[in-house]
């Protein structure tokens, strides 16, 4: 595929949108301005950006508890996201979902998910619907390395393979299942070996490089769309913040040195260097993009803070399909 | 101390070519089993010590678990980071330690990384990669035995090895790099996922080993004008999708492409040839360096590479020398 | 005996027959007929589950569908309950109307996350954005010596989860009307097929019709005691009511048809007339749906009650295997009669 300047810039914007929104959300959480749990995606932006840029808008994705990045990379709206994080009526879920359940069906984003691994079977269903209706779309499930120790993942992988469904499995292998290092929780190191076990191809790519992810995802997507059944792309990545929040817990499950070492491979820095070296963008124009997006982020904070909390009546609405109290 | 070095690339045979070709997945488990057979073969052949280059998957360490070879196993002090440079760093340590023979699991790319650290390493490469022009497809017990026989001086390295050619490349930024099989200029502006997938992106192939029976970009040259391991030659092929002549070449496992050929030229050892930008340079199959419009790289092929141990020939030589016959005590 | 053999009879007697000019259809056959008619009129409906296709379901209630609708719409899946429900959820969010089968109701436990945390809550968590027209069919109830993991009535667990609708047809007529309603419904429904009823036939109209979810049915009017019976217990309670009628106790029998939503108004109205309430279900008494009904009645109709509310239900043990024990375990007409008489 030809990776044009437009694609390179688009990848950058997608990553910056995730990064700046999440850094802001992290600051708000630290200053106790956001309720609930916040699982930040910072460090893993190349995966969401690379994969979403390779998809059609209508291709469905299912996400994880660390789901802001997926929705933002697919074009999610800052205002509605920030409002949802604050539990406001103007949020994506009318303030009833929060960070872990953020979704946008218009963007074919079928929801972040508070249950590890639970989005994978749902993506199987979307893939099934795509094939049955012949709409030419594929579904993508993002999941972490830890999710692949859960039964739902295995059932879904086997079913997608057995039914030969148009589905792309994206493993975001950040080496930690919450606070447990990967080697303590599984006896294999590469999750794609699990794809092989169910009879479909898997490949590993550098998940800190958006171009590598984009290219690899594009190759897989083309094959999946042409009816070759499911595939798995394992993106070796890393989260810069803790499992929850910014500072997280005080436990020593990983060293500061390790985190600092990985930050040298910051997907934004990697891509910025490439854009400048290849003459696609100057440092100034990169900064201009960041400034612009930061303004949008700032506006979203304003929007969210000025938005009302939901009325109490909202609590009983949407339990069932009609907007009537349950 | 008679020492065999052992190293495996955990990431070999796992890249995106699995999406677009019939390349198989080489799992950690299968690599561990290969390593185990190498160790047992080498010890049986008389190696007194196996020096393990740890990798970030602990493949070599897991391979010796439960073998009760504690006195004979040593790990090098080395912190793998899960990157290509791990292999290069380990090779430097092997060299410092005076290892007699190195068994290295991987494809062409892995062997190149190793040679970057120790250019004339006594090497027994075993194929666990995607494209495997350089390494051998051989039973690991046999490979371990061959390496062990050399380490224990039952065979001399000169007797059973052949020195490989190396393609030395001077990059436009002044740095130097090398390849063992091929350096290929592709019409790409990024290194991306590194593998070269599109046959019509290939602009020029410079191959030190152009074996028509092999898989990879070098097969373009191999099927145009074969050059073998022992030939004192290399070959350069200029490609263009609009050319009037073409060659069918398996650039990936199971994936035969038609590649337009403009020019085929034999290159003498020591002769320099230019690869002119723009484009990305792929070393032994992996895009690694991007050249701009007016940049060019200079490549020279020399026979100063690793001393490659042919395991089959080594075993046959040992048998002819009656090395395997031993006197029984009783 | 495999489930197949057990239900061979059910399928035989499950066909249609004309008797006295009235069209009769078996309970299991009603599932097949309804599915076929709905799938003919609505292309977005499909069935997926273990052995629902080539085999027609282990109870035969999907038999004949795959030959007509093909493997794409009558889908044999792996034995993977979580993924089966997930398949339904993902397809429902995409606008299809999946019917997914969990074979035995006991197996919902394997898929509880997908049912409780996903299907039931997605719409709410998404702020109303998603529609989830998902029907889960599953065979519940005991009486076949299928033992503790293939006989349970777990409807109360599901009723506790906001977002689900739980439907328990007591005869073939209700199978057709309620299943049609479930499939046309935009919410996840659990449609509990009673496996001991599969062979029982009754009058069922040929054309598709809907019985509204959440509306109970007065099976028999009476003035002395209100009997609320659920699922197959309607049949046993009917027998009990007839017996007691001879003894001078006139029972009003209510079949709620759906336990979530529950037509409590109908029960309140009846209790305010009779002053007595007996609730009958196959599930264990403790924490059963009867407890909820009793609680609501004391909230809403306390002043009308002339006696404590009586519950006739299974004792607090897993479903036993031995036919002798199981017969004692599941309420029958005799126990229901005794329960009603306790009130007087």
pLDDT at B98: 93
Does a structural domain hold residue A265?
yes
Contact B19 A219 (CB under 8 A): yes
pLDDT score for B55: 87
Among the listed residues A313, C44, C113, A139, the one whose alpha carbon sits nearest the alpha carbon of residue C121 = C113
Question: Greater confidence, C3 or A51?
Answer: A51
Cβ contact, residue pair B16, A205, below 8 Å? yes
pLDDT bucket at B81, cuts 50 / 70 / 90: confident
Chains that touch C (3 or more CB pairs under 8 A): A
Q: What is the pLDDT of residues B242-300, one digit of tens each?
A: 999 999 999 999 999 999 999 999 999 999 999 998 999 999 999 999 999 899 999 99
Mean pLDDT across the stretch C10-25? 65
Which chain C residues have a beta carbon less than 8 Å from that of A159? 77-78, 80, 83-84, 87
Mean pLDDT of A113-124: 95
| ipTM of predicted assembly, 2 dp | 0.89
Selected catalytic residue, list C55, C150, C203, C217: C150
The answer on pLDDT for C274 being more than 70 is: yes
> How does residue C14 score in pLDDT terms, banded at 50, 70 and 90?
low
The nearest alpha carbon in chain A to B198 belongs to A1
Average pLDDT (A120-145) is 97
Is residue C12's pLDDT more than 50? no
Quick check: B36 contacting A, CB < 8 Å? no
- pLDDT exceeds cutoff 90 at A189: no
pLDDT-derived band at C129 (thresholds 50, 70, 90) equals confident
Give chains near B: 3+ CB pairs under 8 A. Answer: A
Residue ranges of the alpha helices (H) in B103-213? 108-117, 140-151, 157-160
Contact C99, C178 (CB under 8 A): no
Q: Do C132 and A115 touch (CB under 8 A)?
A: no
- Work out the minimum CA distance from C69 to partner chain A, whole angstroms: 12
Where residue A182 falls among pLDDT bands split at 50, 70, 90?
Answer: confident
Asked whether residue C39 carries a pLDDT value surpassing 50, the answer given is yes
Shortest Cα distance from A167 to chain C (angstroms)? 12
Whether residue B330 has pLDDT greater than 70: no
For residues B299 and B125, the answer to whether their CB atoms sit within 8 Å is no
Mean pLDDT over B204-224 rounds to 96
- From the list B25, B56, B192, the residue facing A211 with the nearest CB is B192
Strands (DSSP E) contained in chain A are 60-62, 139-144, 167-173, 176-177, 180-181, 202-206, 231-236
- Chain C positions touching A113 (Cβ under 8 A) are 118
- Residues C247-270, mean pLDDT to the nearest whole number: 98
The answer to whether B20 contacts A190, with C-beta atoms less than 8 Å apart, is: no
Same domain, C14 and C158: yes
One CATH from 2.40.160.50, 2.60.200.30, 3.40.50.970, 2.60.120.680 for B166-302: 2.60.200.30
pLDDT bucket at B181, cuts 50 / 70 / 90: very high
pLDDT band at C3, cuts 50/70/90?
very low
**Per the domain annotation, does A322 fall within a domain?**
no
pLDDT of A130 above 50: yes
pLDDT digits (tens, 9 = 90+) for B182-201: 999 999 989 988 999 999 99
Range B3-164+305-320 classified under CATH 3.40.47.10:
no
Locate B217 and state its tokens.
């970009």
- A122 vs C118: CB contact, 8 Å cut-off? yes
pLDDT tens digits, one per residue of C181-191: 999 999 999 99
Q: Looking at residues A18-22, what average pLDDT do you find?
A: 98
Residue C86 resides in a domain: yes
pLDDT of residue A323: 63
Write the DSSP assignment of A117-135 as a string of letters.
TTHHHHHHHHHHHHHHHT-
Of C83, C87, C126, the CB nearest to A101: C126
How close A120 comes to chain C (CA, Å)? 8
Residue A325 counted as domain residue: no
By residue range, what is the domain housing residue A198? 5-316
Question: Which chain C residues are within 8 Å of A129, Cβ to Cβ?
Answer: 90-91, 94-96
Asked whether the predicted pLDDT for residue B152 surpasses 70, the reply is yes
CB contact under 8 A, A105 and C162: no
Residue B176: other Cβ atoms inside 10 A: 9
Q: Are residues C243 and C318 in the same domain?
A: yes
For range C323-342, the mean pLDDT: 96
Q: Which residue has the tokens 């029982």?
A: C200
- C276 given a catalytic annotation: no
Alpha-carbon gap, residue B112 to B108, rounded angstroms: 6
3-state class (DSSP) for residue C258: strand
What pLDDT score was predicted for residue C4? 44
pLDDT at residue C162 tops 90: yes
Mean pLDDT across the stretch B24-53?
Answer: 93
Mean pLDDT value of segment B144-168:
95
- Number of Cβ pairs closer than 8 Å across A and C? 151
* Residue C13 pLDDT grade (very low, low, confident, very high; cuts 50, 70, 90): very low
Query: In this structure, what CATH number is given to the domain that contains residue C331?
Result: 3.40.50.920
Kindly report the average pLDDT of chain A as a whole number: 94
Contact B19 A278 (CB under 8 A): no
Residue A216 lies in a domain: yes
Share of chain B above pLDDT 90, in %: 81
pLDDT for C331 beyond 80: yes
Sheet holding B296-302, edge to edge: B176-179, B166-170, B296-302, B272-276
What is the number of structural domains in chain A?
1
Chain A CB contacts of C131 under 8 Å are 321
Is residue C208, in this structure, part of any structural domain at all? no
How distant is the alpha carbon of residue A12 from its chain centre?
Answer: 15
One domain, residues C197 and C254:
no
pLDDT category of residue C15 using cuts at 50, 70 and 90: low
Q: Is A173 exposed, middle or buried (0-12, 13-18, 19+ CB in 10 A)?
A: buried
Supply the pLDDT for residue A253: 87
Q: What is the mean pLDDT of residues B21-40?
A: 92
Do B and A touch, 3+ Cβ pairs within 8 Å? The answer is yes
Picking from C127, C165, C185, the nearest residue to A97 by CB comes out as: C127
In chain A, what is the straight-line distance between the N-terminal and C-terminal CA atoms, in Å? 52
Question: Are A189 and B16 within 8 A, CB to CB?
Answer: no
The answer to whether residue A324 is domain-embedded is: no
Name the residue among A164, A177, A162 with its Cα closest to residue A243.
Answer: A177
Q: What is the dihedral of CA A277, A280, A283, A288, to 10 degrees?
A: -160
Lowest-pLDDT range, B57-71, C55-69, C267-281? B57-71
Residue A326 lies in a domain: no
C82 and C128 inside one domain: yes
Find chain A residues with C-beta within 8 A of C130's C-beta: 103, 105, 111
Domain boundaries, chain B: 3-164+305-320, 166-302
Indicate the residue of A193, A196, A205 with minimum beta-carbon distance to B193: A205
* Interchain CB distance below 8 Å, C126 and A97: yes
Q: How many domains is chain C partitioned into structurally? A: 2
Nearest Cα of chain C lies from the Cα of A132 at a distance, in angstroms, of 7
Residue A126 forms part of a structural domain = yes
* Cβ neighbours of B57 in A, within 8 Å: 189
Shortest distance, CA A32 to any CA of chain B (angstroms): 37
C18 within some domain: yes
Interface touch B16/A215, C-beta < 8 Å? yes
* Domain containing residue C65: 3-203
Among chain A residues, the shortest Cα distance to B23 is held by A201
Distance CA B63, CA B103 (A): 14
Please give, rounded to a whole number of angstroms, the shortest distance from the CA of A68 to a CA of chain B.
25
Give the pLDDT of residue C10. 42
What is residue A184's predicted lDDT score, i.e. its pLDDT? 83
Average pLDDT rounded to a whole number, residues A165-171: 98
Based on the fold, state whether residues C29 and C132 are members of the same structural domain.
yes
Instruction: Say yes or no for a CB contact (<8 Å) between B194 and A236.
Output: no
Q: Do the Cβ atoms of A124 and C94 come within 8 Å?
A: no
Quick one: average pLDDT of A28-35?
92
Helix, strand, coil fractions of chain B, as percent rounded to 5 = 25, 30, 40
Q: What is the CATH number of the domain that holds C183?
A: 3.40.50.970
Distance CA C230, CA C280 (A): 6
For residue C124, being part of any structural domain is answered with: yes
Q: How far apart are CA C133 and CA C185, in angstroms?
A: 6
The encoded tokens of residue A121 equal 């079977």
| pLDDT (average), residues B221-233 | 96
Is residue C163 domain-resident?
yes
- The chain A residue lying nearest B17, using CA atoms, is A203
Q: Do chains B and C touch (3 or more CB pairs under 8 A)?
A: no
Tell me what pLDDT residue B249 has.
96
Kindly report the length of chain C: 344
- Please check the confidence at residue C11 and state whether its pLDDT lies above 60: no
pLDDT tens for each residue of C287-327:
999 999 999 999 999 999 999 999 999 999 999 999 999 99
Which residues of B are less than 8 Å from A257 in CB distance?
none
Secondary structure of B223-271 as H, E, C letters: CCCCECCCCCEEEEEEECCCCCEEEEEEEECCEEEEEEEEEEEEEECCC
pLDDT tens-digit profile of A270-298? Answer: 999 999 998 999 999 999 999 999 999 99
- Select the residue of A202, A205, A214 nearest B25 (Cβ to Cβ): A202
The interface residues of chain B toward chain A in range 171-190, judged by CB-CB distance below 8 A, are 189-190
In chain C, the percentage of residues whose pLDDT exceeds 90 is 92
Q: How many CB atoms lie within 10 A of CB B142?
A: 18
Which one of C168, C203, C238 terminates a domain?
C203
The whole-number average pLDDT for the span A126-140 is: 97
The predicted structure's pLDDT at residue C232: 97
What average pLDDT does this structure show over A138-167? 97
DSSP state, residue C275: S
Q: What digits encode the pLDDT tens for the residues A194-214? A: 999 999 999 999 999 999 999
Q: Residue A307's domain is classified under what CATH number? A: 3.40.50.970
| Backbone angle region of B31, left / alpha / beta, with phi > 0 → left and psi within -120 to 50 → alpha | alpha
User: Is position A304 within any domain?
Assistant: yes
* Cα–Cα distance measured from residue C87 to residue C81, given in angstroms and rounded to the nearest whole number: 10
**For A118, which residue in chain C has the nearest alpha carbon?**
C114
Dump the DSSP string for B176-187: EEEESSEEEEES
| Contact yes or no for A193 and B197 at CB 8 A | no
pLDDT over 80 (residue C269): yes
């Amino acid at each position: 595929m030809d990776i044009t300047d437009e694609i390179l810039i688009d990848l950058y914007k997608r990553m910056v949108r995730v990064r700046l929104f999440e850094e802001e959300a992290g600051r708000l959480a630290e200053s106790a301005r956001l309720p609930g749990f916040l699982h930040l995606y910072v460090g893993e932006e190349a995966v969401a950006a690379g994969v979403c840029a390779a998809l059609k808008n209508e291709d469905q994705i299912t996400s994880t508890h660390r789901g802001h990045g997926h929705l933002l990379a697919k074009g999610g709206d800052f205002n509605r996201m920030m409002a949802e994080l604050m539990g406001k009526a103007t949020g994506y879920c009318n303030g009833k979902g929060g960070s872990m359940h953020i979704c946008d069906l218009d963007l074919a984003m079928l929801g972040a998910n508070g249950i590890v691994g639970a989005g994978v079977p749902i993506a199987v269903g979307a893939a099934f619907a795509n094939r049955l209706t012949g709409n030419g779309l594929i579904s993508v499930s993002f999941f972490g390395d830890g999710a692949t120790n859960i039964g739902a993942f295995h059932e879904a992988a086997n079913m997608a393979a057995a039914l030969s469904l148009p589905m792309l499995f994206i493993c975001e292998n950040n080496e930690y299942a919450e606070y447990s290092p990967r080697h303590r929780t599984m006896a294999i190191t590469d999750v794609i070996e699990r794809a092989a076990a169910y009879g479909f191809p898997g490949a590993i790519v550098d998940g800190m490089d958006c171009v590598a992810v984009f290219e690899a995802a594009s190759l897989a997507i083309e094959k999946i769309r042409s009816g070759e059944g499911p595939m798995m792309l394992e993106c070796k990545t890393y989260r810069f913040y803790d499992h929850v929040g910014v500072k997280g817990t005080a436990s020593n499950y990983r060293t500061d040195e390790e985190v600092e070492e990985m930050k040298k491979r910051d997907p934004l820095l990697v891509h910025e260097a490439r854009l400048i070296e290849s003459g696609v963008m100057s440092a100034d124009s990169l900064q201009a993009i960041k400034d612009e997006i930061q303004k949008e982020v700032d506006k979203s904070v304003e929007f969210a803070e000025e938005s009302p909390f939901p009325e109490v009546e909202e609590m009983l609405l949407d339990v069932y399909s009609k907007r009537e109290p349950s | 101390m008679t020492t065999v070095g052992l190293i495996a690339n955990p990431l070999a045979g796992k890249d995106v070519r699995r999406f677009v070709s019939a390349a198989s997945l080489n799992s950690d488990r299968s690599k561990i089993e290969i390593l185990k057979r190498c160790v047992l073969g080498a010890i049986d052949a008389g190696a007194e010590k196996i020096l393990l280059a740890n990798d970030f998957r602990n493949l070599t360490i897991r391979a010796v678990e439960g073998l009760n070879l504690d006195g004979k196993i040593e790990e090098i002090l080395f912190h793998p980071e899960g990157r290509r440079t791990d292999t290069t760093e380990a090779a430097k340590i092997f060299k410092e330690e005076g290892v007699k023979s190195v068994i290295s699991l991987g494809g062409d790319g892995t062997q190149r990384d190793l040679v970057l650290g120790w250019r004339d390493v006594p090497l027994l490469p075993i194929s666990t990669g995607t494209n495997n022009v350089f390494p051998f497809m051989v039973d690991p017990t046999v490979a371990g035995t061959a390496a062990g026989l050399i380490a224990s001086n039952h065979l001399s390295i000169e007797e059973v090895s052949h020195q490989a050619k190396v393609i030395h490349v001077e990059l436009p930024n002044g740095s130097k790099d090398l390849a063992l099989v091929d350096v290929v200029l592709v019409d790409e502006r990024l290194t991306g996922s590194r593998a070269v997938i599109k046959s019509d992106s290939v602009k020029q192939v410079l191959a030190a080993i152009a074996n028509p029976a092999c898989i990879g970009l070098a097969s373009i040259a191999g099927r145009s004008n074969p050059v073998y391991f022992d030939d004192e030659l290399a070959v350069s092929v200029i490609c263009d999708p609009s050319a009037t002549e073409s060659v069918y070449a398996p650039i990936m496992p199971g994936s035969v492409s038609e590649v337009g050929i403009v020019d085929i030229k034999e290159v003498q050892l020591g002769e320099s040839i230019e690869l002119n930008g723009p484009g990305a340079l792929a070393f032994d199959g992996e895009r690694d360096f991007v050249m701009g419009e007016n940049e060019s790289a200079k490549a020279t092929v020399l026979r100063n590479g690793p001393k490659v141990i042919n395991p089959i020939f080594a075993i046959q030589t040992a048998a002819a020398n009656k090395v395997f016959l031993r006197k029984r005590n009783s | 005996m495999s489930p197949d053999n057990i239900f061979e009879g059910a399928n035989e007697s499950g066909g249609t027959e004309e008797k006295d000019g009235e069209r009769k259809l078996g309970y299991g056959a009603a599932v097949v007929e309804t599915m076929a008619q709905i799938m003919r009129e609505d292309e977005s409906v499909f069935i997926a589950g273990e052995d629902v296709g080539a085999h027609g379901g282990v109870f035969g209630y999907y038999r004949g569908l795959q030959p007509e609708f093909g493997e794409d719409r009558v889908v044999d899946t792996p034995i993977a309950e979580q993924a089966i429900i997930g398949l339904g959820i993902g397809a429902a969010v995409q606008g299809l109307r999946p019917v997914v089968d969990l074979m035995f109701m006991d197996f919902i436990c394997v898929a509880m996350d997908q049912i409780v945390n996903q299907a039931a809550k997605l719409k709410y968590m998404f702020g109303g954005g998603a529609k989830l027209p998902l029907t889960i069919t599953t065979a519940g109830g005991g009486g076949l010596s299928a033992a503790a993991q293939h006989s349970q009535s777990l409807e109360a667990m599901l009723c506790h989860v906001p977002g689900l609708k739980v439907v328990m047809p007591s005869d073939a007529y209700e199978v057709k009307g309620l299943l049609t309603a479930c499939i046309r419904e935009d919410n996840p429904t659990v449609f509990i097929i009673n496996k001991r009823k599969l062979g029982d036939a009754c009058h069922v109209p040929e054309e598709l019709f809907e019985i509204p979810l959440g509306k109970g049915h007065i099976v028999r009017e009476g003035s002395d005691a209100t009997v609320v019976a659920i699922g197959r217990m309607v049949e046993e309670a009917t027998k009990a009511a007839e017996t007691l009628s001879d003894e001078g106790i006139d029972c009003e029998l209510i079949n709620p048809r759906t336990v979530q939503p529950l037509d409590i108004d109908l029960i309140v109205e009846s209790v305010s007339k009779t002053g007595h309430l007996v609730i009958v279900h196959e599930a264990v008494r403790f924490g059963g749906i009867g407890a909820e009904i009793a609680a609501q009645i004391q909230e809403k109709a306390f002043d009308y009650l002339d006696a404590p509310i009586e519950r006739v239900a299974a004792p607090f043990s897993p479903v036993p295997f031995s036919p002798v024990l199981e017969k004692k375990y599941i309420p029958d007409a005799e126990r229901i009669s005794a329960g009603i008489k306790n009130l007087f």
